[in-house]
Amino acid sequence: MSIAVQRTPEMTLAKKIWQINWTFVFLITVTASVGFVMLYSAANGHIDPWASRQMARFGVGLTLMLVAAVIDIRFWLRYAYIIFFLSVGLLVAVEVIGTIGMGAQRWINLGVIRLQPSEMVKVTLILALARYFYASRPEDLSRVSYVLVPLILIAVPVFLVIRQPDLGTALMLLTTGVVMLYIAGTHAWMFIAAGAAALAAAFPVWKFVLFDYQKQRVLTYLSPETDPLGAGYHILQSKIALGSGGVFGKGFLQGTQSHLNFLPEKQTDFIYTMMAEEFGMVGALALLGLYTLLIIFGFAIAFRSRNQFGRLIGLGVTTAFFLNVFVNIGMVTGLLPIVGMPLPLISYGGSSMLTLLFGFGLLLCAYVHRDINLGPGAASSDM
C-alpha cells in the first residue's frame, strides 16, 4: 500500500519561471560564450565550422534546460526508470547500428545530429539512482541485497560503454555511480569491501580487459618523454602550449601550438590548453573561477531541496559536472592519463552539450520544486 503524497498548491508556469535560478543560467551562458570564442579561434578566426554549430546547439540545449526545469519534478520521479532504460537501449543500439569515429563505435547517426548515448547515460543514471534511493531508510542501506539493484544499474551501462570502447566515459559513469551510493547513505564498510575487490581485480583487468591502446595511455602518462614523437606527443605538446602562454598569454588568435596544428584536437579535448596559450594563466584561472561558481551554485541548489529526490539529483549532476571538468583539465596538464574527455560547455560537441544542459535542467527543476514534499508513494501517485 503506497503512502499518499502531502499535497502542495500547484505552481503556475509563470511562478515556476520566476523561481528558476537565473543567476545560475547566466553563469552557464557566460561559460558557454567563452567556448564560442575559443572555437572561433580554433577555426583561425572563422565562425564556421565549429562556433556557429555550437551556438545553435547551445540555443537548443538552453531551451531543453528551461523546459526540464519547469516540468513537475514528480514527472521525472515517475518516469526516471523508463528514461534510463531508453538510454541504455540506445547504448545497445550502438552495438548494432552505431557509426564509427576516431576508431570507436560510439554514435548513432540521426541525420540532424550524431547522438552519443554514452553522454546521455551520464545524466539518466543519476536520475535512476535518485529515483531508487529517494525514499530509502537507514535500515535499507545496511542490507547488501538493497544495494545490489543500484550496482546493477551502474554495471550495465559501464559494461556497454567499455565495449565501444570508451574507458574514460565508463570510468566517469562508475565514479558518478559510486558517489551517488555514498551521498545516498550507503554504509562505509561496503565501500571498503568494494575497494578491496577493485584492488584484487586490478591485475586481471590490466591483463585481460584493457585494450593495448588503453594500456599505452597509462604508460605514456607515467613517462611521456620515452616516446616524444609517438604516444607521448599529445601531452608533451599540450604542456608546451600551457607553458608558452605565460601569465597573460600570446593574445587572441596568436597561439602558435594550436594555430600551427602542433596541438591535437584543439576544438575538443585540448581546448583548455589552447585557451591557456592565448590568454595565459590569467585566462585559464578565470575559466576555473567560472567553473567554481557553477559548482558552488550547483551544490547550494541541491542542499536547498527539501526532498531527497531533488537533493540527490542536484548532488549527482553537480558531482558529474565537477568530475568532467577535473578529468579534462587534469588530462591536458599531465596530472591524469589522456582519456578523451570534453571540457564541459567549452569543447565542441552536440551530445555532450545537450546532455549537460539537460542535467542542469533537472538541477534547476529540483530548485524550482524544492519545497515539494515527495513521500515514499510519490512515484505512483497522481501528479
Q: Is residue 3 part of a domain?
A: no
Give the contacts of 349 (CB within 8 A, at least 6 positions apart).
116, 268, 342
Instruction: Give the mean model confidence (pLDDT) for residues 79-105.
Output: 81
Instruction: Give the mean model confidence (pLDDT) for residues 276-302.
Output: 95
The answer to whether residues 90 and 120 touch, using CB atoms and an 8 Å cutoff, is yes
Q: Which domain holds residue 144?
A: 13-372
Domain total in the chain: 1
The answer to whether residues 121 and 87 touch, using CB atoms and an 8 Å cutoff, is yes
Instruction: Give the mean model confidence (pLDDT) for residues 211-224.
Output: 68
How far is it, in rounded angstroms, from Cα 30 to Cα 214?
Answer: 35
Cα dist from 365 to 8, 119, 167, whole Å: 16, 20, 31
pTM flag (> 0.85): yes
The H or E element that residue 274 is part of is helix 271-304
The answer to whether residues 366 and 298 touch, using CB atoms and an 8 Å cutoff, is no
Q: Is residue 309 part of a domain?
A: yes
Pick the residue with more confidence: 288 or 219?
Answer: 288
Q: How confident is the model at residue 124 (pLDDT cuts 50, 70, 90)?
A: very high
The answer to whether residues 191 and 182 touch, using CB atoms and an 8 Å cutoff, is yes
User: What pLDDT is attached to residue 383?
Assistant: 44
How far is it, in rounded angstroms, from Cα 372 to Cα 43?
Answer: 47
Single out the residue of 185, 90, 62, 169 nearest to residue 129, CA to CA.
185
Q: What is the percent of the chain with per-residue pLDDT over 70, rounded to a whole number?
A: 86
Rounding to the nearest 10 degrees, give the CA dihedral for residues 380, 63, 118, 51: -170
The answer to whether residues 50 and 282 touch, using CB atoms and an 8 Å cutoff, is no
In tens, the pLDDT along 8-67 reads 557 888 899 999 999 999 999 999 999 999 999 999 889 988 999 999 999 999 999 999
How far is it, in rounded angstroms, from Cα 309 to Cα 112?
Answer: 34
Q: Is residue 1 part of a domain?
A: no
How far is it, in rounded angstroms, from Cα 209 to Cα 63?
Answer: 41
Q: Is residue 86 part of a domain?
A: yes
Bridge partners for 358 per DSSP: none
Asked whether the predicted pLDDT for residue 381 surpasses 60, the reply is no
Single out the residue of 97, 55, 23 nearest to residue 294, CA to CA.
23
Q: Is residue 6 part of a domain?
A: no
Q: What is the percent of the chain with per-residue pLDDT over 90, rounded to a whole number?
A: 48
Q: Is residue 203 part of a domain?
A: yes
In tens, the pLDDT along 136-150 reads 887 777 788 888 999
User: What pLDDT is attached to residue 4?
Assistant: 42
Q: Is residue 202 part of a domain?
A: yes
Q: Is residue 184 part of a domain?
A: yes
**C-alpha 279: how far from its chain's center?**
25
Residues making up the chain, counted from first to last: 383
Bridge partners for 104 per DSSP: 101
Angle at which helices 233-244 and 308-332 cross, to 10°: 90
The H or E element that residue 193 is part of is helix 188-204
